[in-house]
Amino acid sequence: MSSLTTSPKRRSDLTIGRIGLYAFLISAALFFLLPLFVMLLTSVKPMEEIRNGNLLAFPNVFTLQPWVKAWTQACTGLKCEGIQVGFWNSWFILIPSVILSIAAGALNGYALSFWKIRGAEILFAILMLGAFVPYQVYIFPLVQITSKLGLFNTLPGIVVVHTIFGLPVMTLLFRNFYVSVPRDLFSAARVDGCGFLRIFWSVMLPMSTPIIVVAAILQTTGIWNDFILGLVFAGRENWPMTVQLNNVINSTQGEREYNVQMAATILTALVPMLVYFLSGRYFVRGIAAGAVKG
């Protein structure tokens, strides 16, 4: 007598909740990607096609001339040298600002986590309060201070300003990360005779790679996308790419070349987009490794 075996009924993976989730994700993706799609199409069309008004139509004549002109010939003020000048200025501002702000934030976070001093919590609270005050409140005092120090309208001046403004958030990130580090490591290093800087350099920094990646991503995108601080403190010769992009788009002289403007916009946004696309997984790992602990 043969026995009949019945297999359990397989549940469908396509539930109402999953359908709703996919619909939301697709809608969100379209919301953010559609403007980029339109910008890309516009940047490779000649102006004759753009005047026809069909934004979503693919170009009949594909051209990269707007990209070349945006990079080498677009007028960003009195000069028409393209936004390549602002691109290199942004790098000259970005690299030292990121390095200095991360180094200072890591050192502050380490000191506040392991070297307890009287009033440390009050100092930390005051430092955090500075992160929530709008930039505009600080601009006039900083203009006065940098002018007296001879740093106003200079490259070192804008680097110092970005380092100062990045210090609260960087300190918070590293402090919360170091709080999750076992104190036994610190105690063992102290027993071995290591001092303040030796422990920081030999013990803390080697294990700080995840949070350094998080800090670098945050600072890179924030400093590269900055407009107001670069406009006020950098000086005309050191204006970053965002300031020069504003000059290209808001220029009232001659014909408005929308294809050149779209190409310049994409070129300006290229670095932050690449940072997120290439480092997104490391950002999530860094956050999970302790960026929000404490």
Please report the DSSP string for 140-160 in residue order: HHHHHHHHHTT-TTSHHHHHH
CB count in 10 Å sphere of residue 270: 13
Residue pair 241/86 in contact (Cβ under 8 Å)? The answer is yes
Note the pTM of the prediction, 2 decimals: 0.83
Tell me which of 181-185, 220-224, 285-289 is least confident.
Answer: 285-289
Tokens at 294, concatenated: 């404490």
Q: How far apart are CA 75 and CA 251, in angstroms?
A: 8
Q: How does pLDDT run across 4-53, given as a tens digit for each residue?
A: 455 555 555 678 888 888 999 999 989 988 888 999 999 999 998 888 87
* Two tokens, residue 233: 């403190």
Domains of the chain: 16-63 (no CATH), 84-291 (1.10.3720.10)
- How many other C-beta atoms are found inside a 10 Å radius of the C-beta of residue 171? 26
Distance, CA of 30 to CA of 34 (rounded, Å): 5
Whether the CB-CB separation of 270 and 278 falls below 8 Å is answered with no
Distance CA 221, CA 7 (A): 54
Over residues 179-218, the pLDDT tens digits come to 888 888 888 888 888 888 888 898 888 888 889 988 999 9
Query: Are 57 and 120 a contacting pair, CB within 8 Å?
Result: no
Of all residues in the chain, the percent with pLDDT exceeding 70 is 90
Supply the DSSP string of 164-230, one letter for each residue: HHHHHHHHHHHHHHHHTS-HHHHHHHHHTT--HHHHIIIIIGGG-HHHHHHHHHHHHHHHHT--HHH
Three-state DSSP state, 110: helix
**101-155 per-position pLDDT tens digit:** 999 999 998 988 887 777 777 877 887 787 788 888 889 999 999 999 999 999 9
Helix, coil or strand: residue 54: coil
